Chains A and B, each alone.
Chain A
Amino acid sequence: MKNARVKNNEPIATEKIPVADYEAFLEEIVALVSSPACHVASYFALDAGDGAVKLVCCIADDDAHDIALLSSEVEKNGVLPSATAHAGVFERFEREIAENTDLVFDGHPWMKPLRTAPDDYPFYHMEGEELHEVGVGPIHAGVIEPGHFRFVCNGEKVLHLEIMLGYQHRGVEDLFLEKRRLNQRAVLAESIAGDTAVGHGVVFANAWEALCGHGTSRRCRLERTLASELERIAIHTGDLGAICGDVAYQLGSAVYGRLRTPVINFMQRWCGNRLGKGCVRPFAQPFPFTKELGADLLGTLGAYERDFLELSAHVKHFPSVLARLERTGVLTQAQAEEIGAVGMAARASNLRRDVRASHPYLEYGWLDHNPVTKHHGDVLSRTQVRISEVEQSLEYARRLVAELEALPEENAPAAPRRAAANSMVVSLGEGWRGEICHVAVTDGRGELARYKIKDPSFHNWMALALAVRGNEISDFPICNKSFNLSYSGHDL
């Protein structure tokens, strides 16, 4: 079976996506993901009418820098052999499809509810005189989102962790179809995961502009890239502070906490919102990046960088902190590959997976991004990756500001009103947490027929569950914080 290949943000007519019978489709998707360069960006079901369902699989190929698209039409309430039985990366996707349709995946090893959080959730259970279970959540101590964690422990040692999510399910994908105005959709995109407002906002804007055949100006692309990198700096800094806080290292927690503030305050001065909401809108940037803002940002980053580098150099070599971070919460490279981990967490496990390098969008091609990787996959590696990525983003931010200053200010061209009919576009972006994937499908009138969202947390919650195995239960919070996954991004 053949597959159609598209670049990131390249629209394709729906009829050009090859349709195969399920056996050939299954064989092909399993064969594709067996290559370490390939992972599933999105896999979802479309209503094809006439009692049929169309399964569409988008597999990102990091070596060829493109996305393989293939599909299969199956009966609405059919029983299909599971792909998860052959490749673990399909685990969550098949659970999602099974939950949203009448399809049944035969041979799926872990078929459980994904986003419904029922009272009778079938937790994995272990029997033993010396074992005990610890349930945490869904209400947590602290201002965080709801999710239930069930540990099976032998004394202090965690044997198994199961994470039940779904408390935050808002039906975001359906809301995208319901809310027809562009601004409403842009606001929705920013609310998928509150800490990735710019990340999801950019991916949505790119997807919609691609469907409309609208080419954004270089200035607009530079501004969006800058906003993405500032978001990365702010969130990584906040998380580094939280990691220090979880090991009770007050100096790190206080200083990183203070450093995050000037960066988000700059976003407030730029777009009126500290989390960057409203900064990115399709077709034109509502808040132009002026020369004054450029000088302001360079001053802010200069003061930030001096303290950040000093503290980070200290934290990376401070024995009392290292003793907590080293060899804690190890996610091996093999595990990361098997579950299709993405983003910063994957890179800390030596998996060179970064959309900015493999499927460049905005101005990342111009920046010539080179991903940071670490080998050990422990909390320390994830901390080091975050520190290095902040340093990298600081350099990018300076280059972007310099480039923006050299460009003349411009008036945005008139935006096209309609999206292409019967089209589909896959838009990938690298949020601070990892790969964000939005797939937009239009119907015969150019209206959205399906809007499929995937936050990086979708893959990486499993990474957290694997990483805490064999660790002490008291180390779970720092493992959790080192990933810092989104509940609402997963639950949609």
Chain B
Amino acid sequence: MTGFALILFAALFFDGLIVRTKSVCSGRKGPGVFQPLKDVARLMRKGAVYSPTTGWVFKAAPIVQAASVVMACAVIPLGEYGALLSFRGDFVFFAYVLALGKFFGIVGALDTGSSFEGMGAAREALYSMLAEPAFFMVVGSLSLLTGFVSFADILPAIHLSGAMSCAIAVVAAGVLLVLELIENSRLPVDDPKTHLELTMVHEAMILDNSGFDLGLILAAGYLKFAMYAALIANLFVGSVPDAWDVPAFLAVQAGSAVSIGVVESFMARARMNHNPQFVFALTSVALLLVFGVLLAVGNFR
């Protein structure tokens, strides 16, 4: 329960921290840390507008998306605190409940019949599909390393005791951080700030959503940020004294938000046809992790 509550708590600050970082880096005053939350609150109070071409799928999609992220968060533990939900193979559940949310996002976008939304959905589907192997390689190798098959068992069992385990944790954290960028449609894969429909990925998919639905999608996005950062935090909290679990968790959350902000401040977005290469490169780094773990557990002679 503590882990779940902490993820929700971190989600309140995450996007605001990215925006603050970007404002500071560009020498702007910028909005406050709570602006994204205020935006969501404002949207939640509004009614939604539905195009006559859309059906129930379009209305259900934001709810399913948000619910899927909440469900995914529920299987993430925090050190010894355990997860809300835990069962054998729950990391597969984690991956596919997120995929279910994404699927609904995509069919919801297609439901509008807009060419922009179709393009956005096609792009998002492609990058998610390409990113999936990287996720399973990371979690699979951690599972192999610890000998467990549930997040609640795998993550607390990671102890940074030697050079090899440190290296594995750092590479895994790197891969998860880039996955976080891809899954949340951030630079260099997507530009969340653009107003240009033709270059959008995720934003194009939600062009027709408004009011409460849009608020829900945004809130789910913030939660997703905190969720991936929680996975990263878990790689390290096992190695700190129990009393330091919560501060370490929050430090990793803040660190990943700031690093995303820095990346977005000093880098241009990649050309769209280079994005698949970028995601593939991530997969090959994840493959390195698999070999590293095989070496570490001594199965690779």
Structural contact, A246 and B272, CB atoms closer than 8 A: no
Structural contact, A250 and B198, CB atoms closer than 8 A: no
Is B39 located at the chain interface by the 8 A CB criterion?
A: no
The verdict on A141 contacting B195 (CB below 8 Å), with A134-B115, A472-B272 known, is yes
Q: Which of A195-203, A315-323, A364-372 contacts B (4 or more CB under 8 A)?
A: A315-323
Is A142 located at the chain interface by the 8 A CB criterion?
A: yes
Structural contact, A475 and B271, CB atoms closer than 8 A: yes
Residues of B close to A251: CB separation below 8 A:
25-26, 265-266
Structural contact, A323 and B198, CB atoms closer than 8 A: no
Structural contact, B198 and A476, CB atoms closer than 8 A: yes
Is B242 located at the chain interface by the 8 A CB criterion?
A: no
CB-defined interface of B177-209 with A at 8 Å, one 1/0 digit per residue?
000000000011001011111110000000000
Structural contact, B197 and A132, CB atoms closer than 8 A: no
Structural contact, B268 and A321, CB atoms closer than 8 A: yes
How many whole Å from B151's CB to the nearest CB in chain A?
33
CB-defined interface of B256-268 with A at 8 Å, one 1/0 digit per residue?
0000000011111
For chain B residues 190-247, which have a beta carbon within 8 Å of chain A?
191, 193-199
Is A62 located at the chain interface by the 8 A CB criterion?
A: no
How many whole Å from B3's CB to the nearest CB in chain A?
34
Structural contact, A247 and B119, CB atoms closer than 8 A: no
Residues of B close to A474: CB separation below 8 A:
198-199, 271-272
How many whole Å from A127's CB to the nearest CB in chain B?
17
Structural contact, A477 and B196, CB atoms closer than 8 A: yes
How many whole Å from A461's CB to the nearest CB in chain B?
17
Structural contact, B271 and A250, CB atoms closer than 8 A: no
CA distance A473 to B198 in the complex (A): 6
CB-defined interface of B10-40 with A at 8 Å, one 1/0 digit per residue?
0000000000001001111000000000000
CB nearest neighbor in B for A258: B27
For chain A residues 301-340, which have a beta carbon within 8 Å of chain B?
318, 320-321, 323-324, 328
Is A135 located at the chain interface by the 8 A CB criterion?
A: yes
Is A167 located at the chain interface by the 8 A CB criterion?
A: no
Structural contact, A250 and B199, CB atoms closer than 8 A: no
How many whole Å from A420's CB to the nearest CB in chain B?
50
Of B28, B191, B264, B274, which one neighbours A254 at CB under 8 angstroms? B28
Structural contact, A134 and B195, CB atoms closer than 8 A: no
CB-defined interface of A245-256 with B at 8 Å, one 1/0 digit per residue?
011111101100
CB nearest neighbor in A for B207: A141
CB nearest neighbor in B for A320: B268
Is B269 located at the chain interface by the 8 A CB criterion?
A: yes
CB nearest neighbor in B for A254: B26
Q: Give the bracket for the number of chain B residues in contact with chain A.
A: 20 to 34
How many whole Å from B263's CB to the nearest CB in chain A?
10
Is A403 located at the chain interface by the 8 A CB criterion?
A: no
The verdict on A323 contacting B115 (CB below 8 Å), with A141-B195, A141-B197, A246-B194 known, is no
Residues of A close to B273: CB separation below 8 A:
156, 472
Structural contact, A248 and B194, CB atoms closer than 8 A: yes
Is B270 located at the chain interface by the 8 A CB criterion?
A: yes
CA distance A293 to B237 in the complex (A): 63
Is B4 located at the chain interface by the 8 A CB criterion?
A: no
Is B58 located at the chain interface by the 8 A CB criterion?
A: no
Structural contact, A323 and B268, CB atoms closer than 8 A: yes
Of A135, A249, A475, which one neighbours B268 at CB under 8 angstroms? A249
Is B104 located at the chain interface by the 8 A CB criterion?
A: no
The verdict on A324 contacting B268 (CB below 8 Å), with A141-B196, A254-B27 known, is yes
Residues of B close to A253: CB separation below 8 A:
26
Is A136 located at the chain interface by the 8 A CB criterion?
A: yes
CA distance A251 to B274 in the complex (A): 22
Structural contact, B22 and A250, CB atoms closer than 8 A: yes
Structural contact, A248 and B271, CB atoms closer than 8 A: no
Is A133 located at the chain interface by the 8 A CB criterion?
A: yes
The verdict on A246 contacting B196 (CB below 8 Å), with A254-B26, A254-B28 known, is yes
Residues of A close to B197: CB separation below 8 A:
136, 141
Is B116 located at the chain interface by the 8 A CB criterion?
A: yes
Structural contact, A132 and B268, CB atoms closer than 8 A: no
The verdict on A320 contacting B272 (CB below 8 Å), with A248-B193, A250-B25 known, is no
Residues of B close to A136: CB separation below 8 A:
197-198
Of A142, A156, A324, which one neighbours B269 at CB under 8 angstroms? A324
For chain A residues 380-412, which have a beta carbon within 8 Å of chain B?
none
Residues of A close to B265: CB separation below 8 A:
250-251
Residues of B close to A472: CB separation below 8 A:
271-273
- Residues in chain B within 8 A of chain A (CB atoms): 22, 25-28, 115-116, 118-119, 187-188, 191, 193-199, 264-274
29 contacts between A and B (CB under 8 A): A132-B115, A134-B115, A134-B116, A136-B198, A142-B196, A156-B273, A244-B268, A246-B199, A247-B269, A248-B187, A248-B193, A248-B269, A250-B22, A250-B25, A250-B265, A250-B266, A251-B25, A251-B265, A254-B27, A254-B28, A323-B270, A328-B271, A472-B271, A473-B119, A473-B198, A475-B199, A475-B271, A476-B199, A477-B198
Excluding A142-B196, A250-B26, A254-B28, 7 further A-B contacts by CB distance (< 8 Å) are A132-B118, A134-B115, A254-B26, A323-B274, A473-B119, A475-B271, A476-B199
Closest 9 CB pairs of A and B: A254-B26, A248-B191, A248-B269, A249-B268, A477-B196, A247-B268, A474-B272, A320-B268, A474-B199
